Chains A and B, each alone.
Chain A
Amino acid sequence: MTATGIGAPVRRKEDQRFVTGQGRYVDDFNRPGQSYAYFLRSPHAHAVIRSIDTGPARTMPGVVAVLTGDDLAADKIGGLICGWMIHSKDGSPMKAGPHPALAQGKVRYVGDHVAVVIAESLAQAKDAAEAITVDYEVLPAVVDTAQASKAPVQVHDISPDNTVFNWHLGNKDETEAAFARAKHVTKIDLVNNRLIPNAIEPRAAVGEYDPGTDSYTLYTTSQNPHVARLVLSAFIGVAPEHKLRVIAPDVGGGFGSKIFIYAEETICVWAAKKVKRPVKWTADRTEAFLSDAHGRDHVTHAEMATDESGKILGLRVHTTANLGAYLSTFASSIPTYLYAPLLSGQYDIPAIYCEVDGVYTNTAPVDAYRGAGRPEATFVVERLVEKTARELGQDSAAFRRKNFVTHFPHQTPVIMAYDTGDYAASLDKALELADYKNFQQRKQESARRGKLRGIGFSSYIEACGIAPSQAVGSLGAGVGLWESAEVRVNPTGSVEVLTGSHSHGQGHETTFAQLVSDRLGISIDQVSIVHGDTDKVQFGMGTYGSRSGAVGMSAIAKALDKVIAKGKKVAAHVLEASEGDIEFKDGKFGVAGTDRTLGFGEVALQAYIAHKFSGQDLEPGLKEGAFYDPTNFTFPAGVHICEVEIDPGTGVTKIERWTAVDDFGVIINPMIVEGQVHGGIAQGVGQALLEGAVYDQSGQLITASFNDYCMPRAIDLPSFQVGMTVTPCPSNPLGIKGCGEAGAIAAPPAVINAITDALGHEDIAMPATPQAVWRAAQKTRMPTAAE
């Protein structure tokens, strides 16, 4: 390991600019002649638009244009798309309703886009938007996930029962047979609460058109600029792919919400040509609440069958997933292929059957949010495992251990083939760090103070590094999920890495440079990471699903191998040795068995001056590219243990201890990994205790500001005990599994298992707010000090 190589806790290179205000975010870009877009949004959850009168607005001061869905239709601009085809049990394709970037005839959620005003200033655009008259015929709305398919309201014509698909996975017959021979069946009903992502930087876009070259530029808050360009060109049709440059500069958090291709960004590109001016839009926080794709929102009934010894025989799950008013870019894949294949958890479960009904409602679209399907699956498995252990009177840890997968590879009944892991090792380490053996003592001490203490486990698994293109293609993905890299070595020996991954907080400028440092033996200060610009970087798939280490860095590793191979050829010519005798070690190319060496920088210079070889026998230059497609998903896994103390007088739940032992495979930068774990736990605790999007029955979003939507704060969290175990991932050259989502996946069931342990009953939903816990604690018999 070099001082800045793989495994070194290097401080993040990018933080200097972030913490000193030198970052460049989309809103920091201002183009000459720029105009401002403001979207008139629907105040109704469901309404027919009888007419829109934009006449008075057009004459308002500073107004450049007022555009509606009619203008989009006249320009033959396509609708927004959902890029993952799901088929129902009967083989029929999912029912995707139209999703125009500006409403055409109907609005389907509060915040839906009705018109856009483009003006000299944002204030003028807002003034003009108030002068637009929309004649709405307000319709009843459906917001409730569980009731959507039965509601007398139809969100889309294509789907009379508001159902997008009735999908299933697993083997129904084998599962029924397992339940038939079970000694015990545990049942649970769960709601996975709807979340609003709230990245610190709201979405923003600047669209620009150059009539001289007939080309477009879009500055946008994207996690995957090439995918945005592909969708905007090939499907929506606002600009040809080769004439559209998408730039995603510094991006202040995504958590999934910036994967998707939204109406506003689309409109900025389209309108820039129409008004012949750059068009800028920056969401305010209210718009972010209303129109960013939300996460989760499942209603589930699940059952677990066990035999007389407490071995799990089978699992059956029925989930209704609220997809909102329109299918967002990857919405259909989240509650299906990113959900049900994780239902085996860390356990050897012989039979699993899962049904998922995706439904439309008059709410904001729902799509991937940190974890994306896997937190929902983990919540089902870990709540059910916990409840089963309690019903069987078995120790929670012992019950899990008894059912762990112990032999690898392990084929689950739900697609996934786990490659490697040591779940018992993580559990052992977590039990020790959490001081599990003295928990009862702490519980009694809390009881003496009139408090309820509980402990909760979460033995999670996730599928990351998404994934082999062939596999996801067979499951309905519209794209491949490989990654690309190009390594450009400069004549001075410094290195630029062009990556298809995109950093929006993950620290790629540091970790990716560490890989280069490790392989080439140069300092990370000699390495620049370039990403987020389709004019600079080759096509890439972007960052989500904890894939940038396992897939993005593997592509870089592959390109680095090619650079070293080419460097050996150059060195052979310069050192007048046979290529086969050249070794590359510690940043030096040398002739085996001699002391003749060339430094990496010297070889770089020789490659470009090409004085020591002819361009006929060896091409000048040192630049290599690679595309990497993994052979499997990766399977990070671990154990989180949460210990809470509840004040039954107020219902306040205080997290006293948090232990996380994760197996992320090989770790590039332990400091960054710990940071990812901390942030993920914070978001998971947010879901469990604090966050929850609430719509009223008319479809108004009640939690549309931070006054009502409660984000986690530092004071809500304890100091985390983070430990690691390592089983290197065999399906990529670096042994990386991924760490970005683990905390958010692991945390919610750990918290709720701890609260239900403290309460002594299972009747608490997320978010377990003080009010909810206080009410639940009414049913709890207070322990006496003697207990």
Chain B
Amino acid sequence: MYAFEYHRPTSIREAANLANQSEDIKFLAGGHTLLPTMKLRLASPANLIDLGQIAELRGIERSGDAIVIGAMTKHAEVANSAVVREAIPALANLAELIGDPHVRNRGTIGGSIANNDPSADYPAACLALNATIATDKRRIAADDFFQGIFTTALGEGEIITQISFPIPLRAAYAKFRHPASRYALVGVFVAQHTGGVRLAVTGAGSNGVFRIAAMEEALSRNFVAESLDGISAPMDEMNSDIHADAAYRAHLVGVMARRAVQAAARG
């Protein structure tokens, strides 16, 4: 790790001001990606702005037909939230599948989606649930937010404040863990809304989280796993590595999609 300046603001305004006034900044949320990267000397921000002391970035509440989660809310808090469990159990289940207890008690939802790791779980939930990501400057639809591997719509110094998840009729997340890292080798989140079905895939895509329109249309017509028969995931958009080549990943997308639909249908 290289030397850096450490800042610990206590409000969003203070954090934003620090970001504006400083060169070469990184926001520190749970730190489970950033800190190891810094320790390996692969990242070396001059200024690290720790968002951990900003109370207004934390918390979970139901607001009308949506669940609103503060950006600095930890995975364990989402997993254990009675509010989330009651309204969107699939989201609580997803949070429970992230990493291990250490990760879940440090990692945050805002940190996860700001990083947009192609194998992270939350981006799939955001896309499938048609979430809105609020920042200190604006509100961004999930469809516009995720822009490819480790790339988002966030501007320089822009801070995610909360994520709003519309409550679906039913939803489920099926995750096939990477054998070593336990990230999603393939994760499929499916959600049935009054306006139709949204289905998002993480882990598999060479360009990060994505939706599969053909599957969504078929499931919107009939929300049963059999609706997916004959629909395959786009092979040329699949990631390929020593653990899973494109064909295997594409196959797993189909398997996980079916399992997600079955789980959602079971309730």
Contact = CB atoms under 8 A, between A and B. Distances in A.
Interface of A: 123, 126-127, 286, 649-651, 690, 694, 702-703, 706-711, 769-771, 774-775
Interface stretch (B136-144, B164-172, B237-245): B237-245
Contact of A708 (B2, B176, B181): B181
A650 B255 contact: yes
B181 A707 contact: yes
Contacts, number: 37
A96 B176 CA distance: 46
A707 B178 CA distance: 9
B179 A126 contact: no
Given A123-B1, A126-B41, A702-B242, A769 B251 contact: no
Contacts of B228: none
B209 to A, nearest CB: 19
Contact of A709 (B180, B245, B248, B251): B180
A450 to B, nearest CB: 12
A708 B244 CA distance: 12
Contact of A649 (B180, B243, B255): B255
Nearest to A772: B248
Given A709-B180, A769-B179, A650 B252 contact: yes
Given A703-B242, A708-B181, 16 more contacts: A126-B41, A127-B2, A650-B252, A650-B255, A651-B248, A690-B180, A702-B242, A706-B180, A706-B181, A707-B181, A708-B180, A708-B243, A710-B179, A711-B180, A769-B179, A775-B248
A771 B244 contact: yes
A286 B41 CA distance: 13
Contact of B251 (A690, A694, A774): A774
A771 B248 contact: yes
The range of chain B's interface size is 10 to 19
6 contacts: A650-B252, A703-B242, A769-B243, A770-B176, A771-B244, A774-B248
A367 B158 CA distance: 52
Contacts of A690: 179-180
Contacts of A769: 179, 243
Given A650-B176, A690-B179, A770-B179, A708 B251 contact: no
A775 B248 CA distance: 8
Given A123-B1, A770-B179, A708 B252 contact: no
Contacts of A774: 248, 251
A647 to B, nearest CB: 9
Interface string B166-192: 000000000010011100000000000
B229 to A, nearest CB: 14
Nearest to A130: B41
Contact of B242 (A123, A694, A711, A775): A694
Most buried by B among A286, A651, A709: A651
Nearest to A769: B179
Contacts of A703: 242
Interface in B179-223: 179-181
Contacts of A707: 180-181
A775 B255 CA distance: 14
Contacts of A651: 248
A703 B251 CA distance: 24
Interface string B246-258: 0010011001000
B182 to A, nearest CB: 9
B255 to A, nearest CB: 5
B242 A708 contact: yes
B176 A771 contact: no
**A-B CB proximity, top 10 nearest:** A710-B180, A707-B181, A710-B179, A771-B248, A649-B255, A771-B244, A694-B242, A708-B180, A702-B242, A650-B255
A612 to B, nearest CB: 64
Contacts of A650: 176, 252, 255
Nearest to B251: A774
A123 B38 CA distance: 13
A769 to B, nearest CB: 6
Contacts of A775: 248
Most buried by B among A123, A709, A770: A770
Most buried by B among A286, A649, A694: A649
Contacts of B180: 690, 706-711
A709 B181 CA distance: 8
A343 B169 CA distance: 63
A123 B179 CA distance: 33
Contacts of A123: 1
Nearest to A703: B242
Contacts of A770: 176, 179
Most buried by A among B1, B180, B244: B180
A771 B186 CA distance: 12
A126 B39 CA distance: 11
Nearest to A710: B180
Contacts of B245: 771
Contacts of A771: 243-245, 248
Contacts of A708: 180-181, 242-243
B238 to A, nearest CB: 13
Nearest to A126: B41
Contacts of A694: 242
A307 to B, nearest CB: 43
Contacts of B251: 774
Nearest to A650: B255
A694 to B, nearest CB: 5
Nearest to A691: B180
Contacts of B252: 650
A540 to B, nearest CB: 38
Nearest to A652: B176
A690 B243 CA distance: 10
A774 B251 CA distance: 10
A707 B185 CA distance: 12
Contacts of B176: 650, 770
A703 B181 CA distance: 11
A111 B2 CA distance: 22
A70 B248 CA distance: 50
Contacts of A649: 255
Contacts of A127: 2
A770 B244 CA distance: 9
Nearest to B181: A707
A706 B244 CA distance: 16
Nearest to B247: A775
B41 to A, nearest CB: 7
A553 to B, nearest CB: 38
Contacts of A286: 40
A709 B243 CA distance: 10
A126 B245 CA distance: 36
B110 to A, nearest CB: 23
Most buried by B among A123, A708, A769, A771: A771
A191 to B, nearest CB: 15
A709 B252 CA distance: 21
Nearest to A708: B180
A291 B243 CA distance: 23
Contacts of B2: 127
Nearest to B256: A650
Interface in B120-179: 176, 179
Contacts of B243: 708, 769, 771
A709 B179 CA distance: 9
A774 B245 CA distance: 12
A763 B2 CA distance: 49
A8 B23 CA distance: 66
A126 B248 CA distance: 41
Nearest to A702: B242
Contacts of A711: 180
A653 to B, nearest CB: 11
Most buried by B among A650, A710, A774, A775: A650
Contacts of B181: 706-708
A774 B255 CA distance: 12
Contacts of B1: 123
Nearest to B248: A771
Interface in B24-68: 40-41
